[in-house]
Amino acid sequence: MKTTISAALALAALAANGLAAEPEFALHDGDRVVLLGDSITEQKLYTTYLEAYTLTRFPKQKFAFFGRGWGGDTSWLRMRSFPDEKALHAAEGDAQQKLIEASVDDPLKRDVVDVKPTLVMINFGMNDHNYEPFREDIFKTYVRSQTHLTKSLLKNGARVVLLTPQPIENRSGNPAADARNQSLNKFAAGLKEVAAKEGATFVNQFAPYLAIMQREHALDVNASIGGGDEIHPGPAGHTLMASIILQQLNAPALVSSAELDVAADQSAKLVNAAKCAVTNVKYQKNKLQFDRADECLPMPVDERAMAALKLAPVLDALNRYELKVTGLPADRYDIMIDGELVTTLTKQELAKGWNLAVSAGPISKQARDVLALIIKKGPVVQTLWEAGIHGRNTEIPGLQTQHDDLVALITAACQPKPHHFVIKPAGE
């Protein structure tokens, strides 16, 4: 009772001070995360970006990620078991349930359960709706299959996240009018009901992605916000997907922030620091210097996906690496980190606060190095999985060692380092 009262008083104190407790991020220290899906998951793009965000934001925690995407697959795992889909869609009640169990149970155990996951993200629906106007028979199969997947995984101790797919990007000014997207929208509504009923987390990629698509296609009917084909986005589209997923999983936006103030008498002070330590603050001859040691790195943004940053507030929502300096007298300032010029800002921009997430020189480069290592690891994870399916693990000597070495390199690369900042009048 005392603990409950104390917690209530703490929440009341937060409310009284205008603060609210941050919602908990869906991924936890020690999680073993399986990403189950079709060819969109097999692309290893949004899945890689999810992993990169998590590892760079929580460098002291341990996570393991396992991609389990299979081209052409559905929630009844048709590419892993090849059921009679005509009979499956025609069946009702217990008869259909038995067909789904026969189709799902063995490959689900092999590809997911045997990994001992604590969290499984499921991204099906694109192939399920069969690329045609809404069909009630397929929809019923989809709902029952997603329900069975969810129940099976929860029974095995895993938390479940049910993802809708992103919409199809046809080349028209009104993607929402595409009958296929209208079908996907109904499938999304059905998935939301499954999540609510079974106690899974629901993530709707479809609606926010479609809103961006509608806006851009209204300006240019030939727009391609995803950068890929109608079904498979490129890096920009997958960055939008990862951003939408992470936000709906309560991923924290702040990397770290530092606020300093300088005065006319050449004094300077640290006003505030969050998730970083700022030391050795000096201000001489209009040049501000300090050392900054962050708790984590900014989320790396794939250099092939920079277009996504113009389509949605990805950085503000997920990647705020902030620097704020007030009281500066000159009009423009060079920002240098470890002797490298990273950007030039006006005193007004610095006074307001600037997000350096993708322009922090050696810090951003370290984050991109993490992403490159995770990208390199993806095919190794895939090959290990495929070798296991076909019983050929022993035929690829050294592959597990290669995987383990990459994991160690990634862990080391995620650890932030202290950096020396210099802010001086531009050009001096």
Copy the structure tokens of residue 245: 């997923």
Q: What is the DSSP letter of 118?
A: S
What local confidence, expressed as pLDDT, does residue 397 receive? 75
Give the helix ranges, DSSP H, for 29-92: 39-42, 46-57, 78-81, 85-90
Q: How far apart are CA 168 and CA 136, in angstroms?
A: 20
Q: What is the pLDDT of residue 3?
A: 36
Residue 311 has pLDDT above 80, yes or no: yes
Question: In angstroms, how far is the first alpha carbon of the chain from the final one?
Answer: 63
Higher pLDDT, 283 or 399: 283
CA–CA dist 116, 161 (Å, integer): 16
How deeply is 37 buried, as exposed, middle or buried, from its count of CB atoms within 10 A (0-12, 13-18, 19+)? buried
pLDDT at 391 over 60: yes
Is the model's pTM score more than 0.85?
yes
pLDDT tens by residue, 120-134: 999 999 999 999 999
pLDDT over 80 (residue 338): yes
Q: Assess whether pLDDT exceeds 80 at residue 7.
A: no
pLDDT at 393 over 70: no
CA torsion sign for 231, 192, 154, 240 is positive
Beta-strand relationship, 276-284 and 159-163? unpaired
CB 262 within 8 A of CB 333: no
CB 111 within 8 A of CB 122: no
Per-residue pLDDT, 167: 97
Q: Are 416 and 297 in contact (CB under 8 A)?
A: yes
pLDDT at residue 2, rounded to an integer: 36
Phi, psi dihedral angles at 325 (to 5 degrees): -135, 125
Task: Give 26-248's CATH code, choosing from 3.40.50.1110, 3.40.50.300, 2.40.50.100, 3.50.30.40.
Answer: 3.40.50.1110
| Residue 292: how many other CB atoms lie within 10 Å | 21
**144, pLDDT greater than 90:** yes
Tell me the pLDDT tens digit for each residue of 364-375.
Answer: 999 999 999 999
Ranges of beta strands (E only) in 223-267 are 254-262
Confidence band, pLDDT 50/70/90 cuts, at residue 12: very low
Q: What is the band of 14 on the pLDDT scale with cuts at 50, 70, 90?
A: very low
d(CA 209, CA 241): 7
Domain boundaries defined on the chain: 26-248, 253-428
Alpha carbon distance 188, 182 (integer Å): 10
Q: At residue 230, does pLDDT exceed 50?
A: yes
pLDDT at 76 over 50: yes
Length of the chain: 428
Q: Mean pLDDT in the chain?
A: 93
269, 199 contact by CB (below 8 A):
no
Instruction: Give the integer Cα–Cα distance in Å for 127 and 40.
Output: 10
Mean pLDDT of 334-348: 98
If residue 333 lies in a helix (H) or strand (E), which one and from where to where? Answer: strand 332-337
